[in-house]
C-alpha cells in the first residue's frame, strides 16, 4: 500500500448516461491538493455546489448510493469511488453537469482507465490511513446479512453472495492486495435479476439501464410477450433469453463476476468513511444499505479514537525530519523541542519529542529525581503547533510564530528521561488574520500527561 498521498496529473473527462435518471452526463475529474479528499461538484447548478464524499451525507441506498448536501444530490457514487480507492488516489474533485454519475459499462474499469490516462502523481504528504483498532460488526438477522471490519495492517476484502437462485449460486470473491484491483475487480459489472426489471422501471428507476451496462440474470420462465416487453423497456431491437441464464447470453468476465461486483460496491461505499482504511473487510450478502451502515460504524470508531492517544509508528517515514523541522522553526539548542513531525493534515499535527537524560534541564530540575519541567512540555506543544500554523501559510519562511496565550493547562503525570512524548495539536477554529486557536495534548504511550488551549499569532518577518 502507498505511503504517500496521490492525485492525478491533469483533468480528464467522459460522457455517459445515468443508470437511474437516464440523463446524459459529462463527468470531469480534476487534480486536488493534499488532504482535499474526494469531493463532487454539480457544475450545472447555481454556485456550483460541492458535496464531500462523506457517509454523513448519504440519503438513499435503494439502488445505489446517493449523497445530498443542502438539497443538492449526486446519485450512484459507488463505482467511481471504488476506482479511486483501488488506484490509491486520495485527492480529486469530480465535476458533473447532471444529477448522476454515468453508469458507463456498469463496472469501474472505464473510470480506472481515465484516471490512468490522466496520470497519477505522488504528493509530499503521508496517506492519512485509519487502521481499525477493534472488530466492528453490522448484522441484519432478518435478511441474513453480516459485515465486519477486522484489525489488519493492510487492506483486504472478502465478499459472499447467495440469492437462493438456480442460476446465481453462492459465490465468493476476495481481494488480497489493492494492487490487483484493476485486473481482478474493476471490470466486474453490476447485475440485476429479470424479475426486478419491470418493478424498477415502474418505480422510475434504471431509465438508463440496458444490457450493455448490466448483467441481467434470467431466474424464471418468461413468455414471448414478456420478451417483447423487455425489448421495449431496454430499447433493444432483439432480446433473447439464451441458454446460460444470462439475458442475450452475455458472457461473464469472471465466473464469479456478481460477487466481485458486490466487493467493488463495498469498496466504493466504504470510501465514504473519509480516509483510506487498513482493515480486513468481510461481507456476507452485502448491499448499499449495510455497506453504509458499516461505514458509519467505522467512522464512529475513527472519531472516537481521535479523542484517545495519537497513533505513532516509528517504522513509517516522518512528514518532517529533525533537519526539516529546523528549517521551519527558529528554535535551536537547548530550546529545539520537536524531533520530527509524523502527521500533518492542515487541521491537526502530531510531533515527537524524545526525552533524554542528556538535556540540560535535568542537571538543575530535580537532579535526584529528574522530571521534565511543565513549561518545557508546553513549549514542545507550542512548537509542534507552530509547524501546523506555519505550513498553513504556504510560505513558512516569511513568518515568526509567537505564542500569545495559554488557557486551561493541566499536567497529569510526570515526564521523565526515556519517555517519548507524542504531541498532537488541532485547530479549534479556522485560522483568521494570522491568529490560530489550538488544543494541544502530550501523551506518553496511551497516557495523557498534559493538555492545554493555546493561541498563536504569525508575524511577517521584516525585509
Residue 264 CB neighbours (<10 A): 32
Mean pLDDT within 139-151: 95
Known catalytic residue at 365: yes
- pLDDT, position 437: 95
Residue-wise pLDDT for 273-309, tens only, equals: 999 999 999 999 999 999 999 999 999 998 887 778 8
Contact predicate 69/40, CB 8 Å: no
C-alpha cell at 76: 450512484
- pLDDT, position 192: 77
- pLDDT, position 154: 95
Q: Which of 36, 172, 331, 365 is catalytic?
A: 365
Provide the pLDDT confidence category of residue 18 given band limits of 50, 70 and 90.
confident
- pLDDT, position 102: 94
Ordered strands of the 447-460 beta sheet: 340-344, 348-354, 420-427, 435-444, 447-460, 399-411
Domains of the chain from N-terminus onward: 4-187+257-305 (3.30.230.20), 191-249 (no CATH), 322-460 (3.10.129.10)
- pLDDT, position 422: 97
At residue 236, does pLDDT exceed 80? no
Contact predicate 123/36, CB 8 Å: no
Q: Which of 288, 331, 413, 439 is catalytic?
A: 288
How far is CA 146 from its chain centroid?
22
Query: Which of 56-70, 240-254, 257-271, 338-352 comes out lowest in average pLDDT?
Result: 240-254
- Residue-averaged pLDDT of the chain: 90
Q: pTM for this structure?
A: 0.79
DSSP state of 270: H
Provide the pLDDT confidence category of residue 214 given band limits of 50, 70 and 90.
confident
Residue-wise pLDDT for 161-213, tens only, equals: 987 766 677 899 999 999 999 999 999 998 877 766 666 666 555 555 556 67
Mean pLDDT within 139-146: 94
User: Which of the two residues, 170 and 228, has the higher pLDDT score?
Assistant: 170
At residue 405, does pLDDT exceed 60? yes
Amino acid at each position: 500500500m502507498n505511503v504517500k498521498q496521490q492525485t492525478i496529473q491533469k483533468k480528464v473527462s467522459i460522457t455517459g448516461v445515468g443508470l437511474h435518471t437516464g440523463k446524459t452526463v459529462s463527468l470531469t475529474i480534476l487534480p486536488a491538493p493534499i488532504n482535499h479528499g474526494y469531493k463532487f461538484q454539480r457544475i450545472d447548478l447555481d454556485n456550483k455546489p460541492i458535496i464531500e464524499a462523506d457517509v454523513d451525507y448519504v440519503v438513499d441506498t435503494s439502488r445505489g448510493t446517493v449523497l445530498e448536501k443542502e438539497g443538492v444530490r449526486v446519485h450512484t457514487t459507488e463505482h467511481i469511488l471504488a476506482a479511486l480507492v483501488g488506484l490509491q488516489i486520495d485527492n480529486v474533485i469530480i465535476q458533473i453537469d447532471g444529477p448522476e454519475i454515468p453508469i458507463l459499462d456498469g463496472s469501474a474499469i472505464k473510470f480506472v482507465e481515465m484516471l490512468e490516462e490522466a496520470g497519477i502523481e505522488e504528493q509530499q504528504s503521508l496517506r492519512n490511513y485509519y487502521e481499525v483498532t477493534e472488530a466492528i460488526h453490522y448484522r441484519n438477522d432478518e435478511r441474513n446479512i453480516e459485515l465486519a471490519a477486522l484489525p489488519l495492517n493492510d487492506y483486504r476484502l472478502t465478499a459472499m453472495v447467495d440469492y437462493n437462485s438456480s442460476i446465481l449460486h453462492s459465490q465468493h470473491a476476495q481481494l488480497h492486495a489493492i494492487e490487483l484491483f484493476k485486473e481482478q475487480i474493476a471490470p466486474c459489472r453490476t447485475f440485476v435479476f429479470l424479475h426486478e426489471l419491470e418493478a424498477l422501471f415502474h418505480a422510475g428507476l434504471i431509465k438508463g439501464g440496458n444490457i450493455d451496462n448490466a448483467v441481467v440474470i434470467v431466474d424464471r420462465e418468461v413468455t414471448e410477450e414478456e420478451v417483447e416487453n423487455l425489448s421495449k423497456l431496454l430499447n433493444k431491437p432483439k432480446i433473447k433469453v439464451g441458454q446460460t441464464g444470462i439475458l442475450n447470453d452475455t458472457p461473464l468476465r469472471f465466473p464469479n463476476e456478481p460477487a466481485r461486483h458486490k466487493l467493488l460496491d463495498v469498496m466504493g461505499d466504504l470510501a465514504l468513511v473519509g480516509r483510506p482504511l487498513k482493515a480486513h473487510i468481510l461481507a456476507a450478502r452485502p448491499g448499499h444499505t449495510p455497506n453504509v451502515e458499516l461505514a458509519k460504524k467505522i467512522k464512529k470508531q475513527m472519531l472516537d479514537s481521535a479523542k484517545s492517544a495519537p497513533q505513532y509508528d516509528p517504522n513509517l517515514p516522518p512528514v518532517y525530519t529533525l533537519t526539516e523541522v529546523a528549517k521551519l522553526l527558529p528554535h535551536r539548542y537547548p530550546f529545539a523541542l520537536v524531533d520530527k513531525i509524523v502527521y500533518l493534515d492542515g487541521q491537526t499535527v502530531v510531533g515527537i519529542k524524545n526525552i533524554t537524560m542528556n538535556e540540560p534541564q535535568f542537571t538543575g530540575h530535580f537532579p535526584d529525581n529528574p522530571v521534565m519541567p511543565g513549561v518545557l512540555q508546553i513549549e514542545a506543544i507550542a512548537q509542534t503547533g507552530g509547524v501546523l500554523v506555519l505550513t498553513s501559510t504556504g510560505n513558512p519562511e516569511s513568518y515568526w510564530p509567537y505564542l500569545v496565550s495559554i488557557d486551561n493547562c493541566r499536567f497529569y503525570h510526570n515526564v521523565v528521561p526515556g519517555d517519548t512524548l507524542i504531541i498532537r495539536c488541532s485547530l479549534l477554529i479556522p485560522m483568521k488574520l494570522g491568529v490560530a486557536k489550538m488544543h494541544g495534548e502530550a501523551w506518553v504511550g496511551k497516557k495523557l500527561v498534559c493538555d492545554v488551549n493555546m493561541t498563536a499569532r504569525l508575524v511577517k518577518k521584516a525585509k
